[in-house]
A and B are shown apart, each in its own frame.
Chain A
């Protein structure tokens, strides 16, 4: 029986359900303390983080740090002026032929991937920014 899977599923569900339960009333009665629903939800996710860390012998925290960085970078790029990702894409694209001429094939390939990612970011921003942000 995959206990970890079940526990994680319950924690995620509880994190969502915390918004629909009168948590602050219960905590006020029990602990004489008003705890906001989002805090309880965050607590559930915190326990999920702990469980993940235990299950993965600490490597999970590295995954979390990297995920946080990636999300931050994506969100920052998404919220930045649309000219920035497109300008970066042009810079990386322009660097490719020079790197290829200098026989730095691997760096040229990396630059091409960066150009692609910047273009994707720019397109996503153009398509979804108005739908997601007021």
Chain B
């Protein structure tokens, strides 16, 4: 019997051997990846506006610029030059290259060197980018535009045209757009003049060709050509569509198409296989080179990682932007190899599929197998659904469904009288079991809830290593608690965002960060033992906005991309001339980027109005509205605006400072938080805000609140490390145990731990009875300075949190000190 995949396709003519072109080249030169300098960035910018520019250094040419021209240039840079003539009519000389010389003001020294070498070419037009920040510059639309146009007007010195552009016009997004419009217009005007002046010098043929380019005849010919191309490419499909569209619904058309493909591949199998083997051979030197690199780097997994990351289609855009030709070539080489492999496998796959279909359609299962397999699978599934959640049964459910579907289809195809396979007794038993299973599904969860939960205990630190350090990630199953685990160190121990242990402490109160209350006296607060733990950036920012007193604990003297106004509200700046100065770190030569200013304030519609409400007071209705609104709406309102187009560094290793005007109305009322985005924070060194030329003090917020991957201990008051606190004084750190025992007012301390991860107040009483079961109002020996061999059982507060469902899965046990040992061999 011949099958459709082995028959020659109907209507096939003997075809010529089509040699599939094989990719034989691999570019092995890795294009170096470099970031742009600012002058390169501006060069690209002007070129995109239709202004052809060249930048220093240039190649040595035959006609260097004259000394007089260079003197004029340097005088202009230093501000001494005055225009000697006013432009009457710009006469265009027939230059081969009508380009602008583009340079930065700071390239004066470089230009002088090049002058000595004779490497500055003849120029008619020059664009100078000046670092000077224009004074009295308002971003208000009308005055900014007028000032910009005035500044961009060129100066003519000895028939040479000089444009002096303040850099702020290119780095401020809004002003860059206006500058672009200006220079695009300049470019178009020049083309018009140039074209007009070239009219007489072109031949008749060139004129006609230029006319043809814009004629409707060419356009019509292009349309006709494209239609013809598509028709020719899909000729067969169109033939079927027009003459016999019903054939598209028939199986034999697609079978024939597949048969043709399979037949073609089978016929040219030898060539395709040869090509595949030849391409695959290239893998030998590639793998060899990668393995050598792996050895040099000392990373055994380098080869696999390199291949898997290269094959990831999502990374293609990265390779394109960084012009990594080798990676791109390797990626496409692998794809071609994969496609060839699929093509070679296709006939075999079709054959196997057809054989399996034949086998499945001709197999005859025994009646007993069919009879009992279905109820068996159904009952097993129902019983499992009683005790296990769906999430852990997905694979089994999928398998059961497919199996059942297959068996049911078999019954349907063979037209079996399935019900008649069972006796009455068997039916009754099966229905009874089914009913029991369904009843269990409904009743068991209810029964489970009413019973006390029986917990299984497992070790807290389950791994068998001799030494285990914090942080430690613990994954747990359902209804699991942990055995005792004693900690003898002197650090603070946290489980997720909860403080669970601190040395010499009787009580720990964990509270949500937004419930922080302070009398505003930092000195008093320093005497109380408090900690702040942050993981959720949004919640931290919400707490900072609602409780401004928190800023004193979250602030830092170093630069941070998150800051707020220190002494004044935004409202006071609305009538002032604002500018933002940013300093960039050029050590790693960062690429051009757009810096955005993001303002974060409380969402009025969510009911949170922060300190304003605290000052004015709230009545009960407002408070109720606040709680109902907060559940639905986002508590924070965020607005982002582009403020600076960073062009790249002028010089490597030298920090670059750029100043841009700022619209004061970007800052919402009050004291919002401001965040700089769009750039890696390592590339930003400093930010300053100026109002009418005067520096506005800023308070920088600890940048660690932006890290949402780990829990961060933002602040720990000095009192947390004291062994005792007396009501009288916190300075006497040498209080003896005798003093502690005898003093009526001194006692081991309590700590209040605020965290973004704590939803409700949780209190841990750390007093534990000693081995002799002394009453709990006497302090255990370890709190009184005596040594406690066992230490503190950190599992007990963790188990409390587990029972309340407060911990994540997995949860992290961590400490305020790095590399704290939680388990040793002893």
Contact = CB atoms under 8 A, between A and B. Distances in A.
Interface string A57-91: 00110011011101110011001100000000000
A56 B170 CA distance: 51
A71 to B, nearest CB: 5
A16 B437 CA distance: 13
Contacts of B445: 1-2
Q: How large is the interface on A (under 10, 10 to 19, 20 to 34, 35 or more residues)?
A: 35 or more
A134 interface: yes
A20 B446 CA distance: 31
Nearest to A130: B366
Given A12-B378, A63-B395, 9 more contacts: A5-B385, A13-B438, A19-B418, A20-B419, A20-B427, A49-B401, A56-B390, A56-B391, A72-B356
Contacts of B418: 19, 37-38
A124 interface: no
Q: How large is the interface on B (under 10, 10 to 19, 20 to 34, 35 or more residues)?
A: 35 or more
Contact of A134 (B360, B365, B389, B446): B365
A42 interface: yes
B434 A16 contact: yes
A63 B363 contact: no
Nearest to A41: B408
A67 B408 contact: no
Contacts of B395: 63, 67
Given A56-B394, A76-B359, A133-B363, A5 B402 contact: no
Interface in A1-38: 1-2, 4-6, 8-10, 12-13, 15-17, 19-20, 36-38
B217 interface: no
B397 A38 contact: no
A132 B398 contact: no
B404 interface: yes
B467 interface: no
Interface in B361-393: 363-366, 369, 374-375, 378, 381-382, 385-386, 389-391
Contacts of A17: 431, 434
B409 A38 contact: yes
Contacts of B378: 12-13, 15-16
Given A75-B360, A79-B359, A12 B398 contact: no
Cβ-closest 10 pairs across A and B: A38-B412, A67-B398, A63-B398, A134-B364, A5-B385, A9-B441, A19-B418, A67-B399, A9-B382, A76-B356
Nearest to B411: A38
A123 B440 CA distance: 37
A73 to B, nearest CB: 9
Contacts of A4: 390
B781 interface: no
A116 interface: no
B363 A79 contact: yes
Interface of A: 1-2, 4-6, 8-10, 12-13, 15-17, 19-20, 36-39, 41-42, 45, 48-49, 52, 55-56, 59-60, 63-64, 66-68, 70-72, 75-76, 79-80, 131-134
Interface in B702-734: none
Contacts of A66: 398
A45 B408 contact: yes
10 contacts: A8-B397, A13-B434, A17-B431, A17-B434, A20-B419, A45-B404, A52-B397, A67-B399, A72-B356, A79-B360
A71 B402 contact: yes
A15 B391 CA distance: 22
Contacts, number: 127
Contacts of B402: 64, 67-68, 71
Given A6-B441, A10-B438, A42-B408, A133 B398 contact: no
Contacts of B70: none
Contacts of A12: 378, 381-382, 400, 404
A84 B431 CA distance: 42
A5 B390 contact: yes
Most buried by A among B359, B397, B404: B397
Given A2-B389, A19-B419, A60 B394 contact: yes
A9 B386 CA distance: 9
User: Secondary structure of the A side of the interface?
Assistant: helix
B339 interface: no
B360 A38 contact: no
Contact of A132 (B356, B369, B419): B369
Contacts of A15: 378, 404, 408
A60 B396 CA distance: 11
A45 B382 CA distance: 14
Contacts of B401: 45, 48-49, 52, 64, 67
Contacts of B400: 12
Nearest to B377: A12
B403 interface: yes
A71 B406 contact: yes
Contacts of B356: 72, 75-76, 79
Given A1-B445, A19-B418, A67-B399, A42 B405 contact: yes
A4 B385 CA distance: 9
B598 to A, nearest CB: 31
Contacts of A71: 399, 402-403, 406
B394 A131 contact: no
B442 interface: yes
A110 B114 CA distance: 65
A79 B360 CA distance: 8
Contacts of A39: 412
A20 B406 CA distance: 19
Contacts of B409: 38, 42
Contacts of B427: 20
Contacts of A6: 385, 438, 441-442
A70 B584 CA distance: 56
Nearest to A16: B378
Given A9-B385, A20-B427, A41-B408, A132 B365 contact: yes
A48 B381 CA distance: 12
Contacts of B365: 132-134
Given A2-B445, A8-B397, A20-B427, A134 B359 contact: no
Contacts of B446: 1
Contact of B366 (A42, A70, A133): A133
B394 A52 contact: yes
A3 B246 CA distance: 47
B568 to A, nearest CB: 49
A36 B411 CA distance: 11
Interface string B433-459: 010011001100110000000000000
A26 to B, nearest CB: 15
B375 A16 contact: yes
A8 B442 CA distance: 12
A41 B403 CA distance: 13
A42 B411 CA distance: 11
A71 B769 CA distance: 60
Contacts of A38: 408-409, 411-412, 418
